[in-house]
Amino acid sequence: AQAPAVVTVTGAAGQIGYALLFRIVSGAMLGHGTPIRLRLLEVPQAVKAAEGTAMELDDCAFPLLAGIDIFDDARAAFEGANVALLVGARPRSAGMERGDLLSANGGIFKPQGEAINAGAADDVKVLVVGNPANTNAYIAAQHAPDVPRERFTAMTRLDHNRALAQLAARTGSHVDDIRHLTIWGNHSATQYPDLTHATVRGVPATSLVDPAWVQDTFIPTVARRGAAIIEARGSSSAASAANAAIDHVHTWVKGTRDGDWTSAAIVSDGSYGVPEGLVSSFPVTASGGEWSIVQGLEIDAASRARIDASVSELVEERDAVHALGLV
């Protein structure tokens, strides 16, 4: 039998954690041949709740579950981690300034980056879900100098999946008929869901939908879907966020399908004019456990302006993080 993969999940007692852990251990993330050893990290006051979730995980009698350990110490939690899902973060409270938000999250993602650097497995793959996800991933990566930077990623797969669903509904097609959608930039309201390269059953999406729908409905609906879910559900998206985290890691490990790409926020190598080192969403393929940015796409003027707007928000966040001494 295969050796268990060590999967560390932070914020394990939160609502995404509750939707995520069961699917990890069911085999949806790493495949049904890989046993899972969970290491859960929580703040001390939520350890008891995480223990309750662990009791439920035991009660599922998942054949792949090789053990669960719960910690309130990052160093211990990331020991030996092959996959690290950084879900716990400090949310923006009413009236909170960006500097305060970044400082609070720097206080979480700096020590977690250091702990990953100190003790994670050599092949560790890190996905940051907790917001502001791109910049939290940037902070963690800066504090893990011994881990290749490309192992730090942030999640825009939920935005990608939301875009697939919107385009499929509009065109009366199935999500599986769609190829080559892209989310660019920051996981925030400035993100750019780009269908200029997308096809639906091989037909260019731009020939199937009118430009006004793209500008006035598609882009804002995808970018503001999180707020719409809160409004409707009374709490933020959890199961769909957990699902996207499963998808992100599954694609990273198993690869993208032939003739398609997906979206993930990865460390920029300067492609498409995105400053090197920023954690920004790109069209990406995965193969052999590594992401590659799809090269050579033609970017029209309207797309260029939207990408630049989102990237400049990332630059501002990065500069703020440096000014605050968080890296």
User: Which residue in the list 187, 197, 250, 322 is annotated as catalytic?
Assistant: 187
Indicate the residue among 130 and 193 with the shorter CB distance to ligand NAI: 130
**Tokens 């949310």 belong to residue:** 91
Residue 264 touching ligand NAI (CB under 6 A) = no
Q: Is 95 annotated as a binding residue?
A: no
Residue 106 touching ligand NAI (CB under 6 A) = no
Distance CA 153, CA 141 (A): 9
Beta strands across the sheet bearing 125-128: 65-71, 36-41, 5-10, 83-86, 125-128, 152-154, 262-267, 279-287, 290-293
Which residue(s) pair with 125 in the sheet?
83
Q: Is 136 exposed, middle or buried (0-12, 13-18, 19+ CB in 10 A)?
A: buried
Distance CA 171, CA 193 (A): 16
Structure tokens at 115: 């702990």
Least distance in Å: CB of 314 to ligand NAI? 14
Least distance in Å: CB of 208 to ligand NAI? 27
Residue 203 touching ligand NAI (CB under 6 A) = no
Among 34, 53, 88, 151, binds ligand NAI (CB under 6 A): 88
Residue 147 touching ligand NAI (CB under 6 A) = no
Residue 89 touching ligand NAI (CB under 6 A) = yes
Q: Is 162 annotated as a binding residue?
A: yes
What contacts 181, CB < 8 A, 6 or more positions away? 160, 163, 164, 167, 193, 194, 195, 197, 198, 263
Q: Is 16 annotated as a binding residue?
A: yes
Residue type, 240: S
Q: Is 175 annotated as a binding residue?
A: no
Least distance in Å: CB of 198 to ligand NAI? 20
* Active site (annotated) includes residue 187: yes
C-alpha closest to that of 165 among 234, 107, 222? 222
Per-residue x/- mask for ligand NAI, residues 12 to 51, rule CB under 6 A?
Answer: -xxxxx-----------------------xxx--x-----
Q: Please give the helix or strand (H or E) that residue 226 lies within, else none.
A: helix 225-233
Structure tokens at 151: 């192992």
Least distance in Å: CB of 100 to ligand NAI? 15
**Tokens 């069209």 belong to residue:** 283
Indicate the residue among 10 and 199 with the shorter CB distance to ligand NAI: 10
Among 35, 106, 113, 130, binds ligand NAI (CB under 6 A): 130
Helix axes 239-254, 157-171, angle to 10 degrees: 100
Among 38, 158, 208, 267, binds ligand NAI (CB under 6 A): 158
Among 129, 141, 223, 311, binds ligand NAI (CB under 6 A): 129
Q: Cα-atom radius of gyration of the chain, to the nearest Å?
A: 19
Which residue(s) pair with 279 in the sheet?
267
- The CA-based dihedral angle spanning residues 239, 243, 249, 253, taken in that order and rounded to the nearest 10 degrees: 150
Indicate the residue among 128 and 178 with the shorter CB distance to ligand NAI: 128
Least distance in Å: CB of 308 to ligand NAI? 22
Scan residues 293-312 and list those touching ligand NAI (CB under 6 A). Answer: none
Q: Is 129 annotated as a binding residue?
A: yes
State yes or no: cis peptide before 283, omega within 30 of 0: no
Q: Is 166 annotated as a binding residue?
A: no
Read off φ and ψ for residue 161, nearest 5 degrees.
-65, -40
Name the binding residues: 11-17, 92, 98, 105, 112, 129-131, 162
Name the binding residues for substrate: 92, 98, 131, 162
Active site residues: 187
Name the binding residues for NAD(+): 11-17, 105, 112, 129-131
Instruction: Enumerate binding residues for ligand NAI (CB under 6 A).
Output: 10-11, 13-17, 41-43, 46, 87-89, 91, 108, 129-131, 133, 155, 158, 187, 236-238, 241
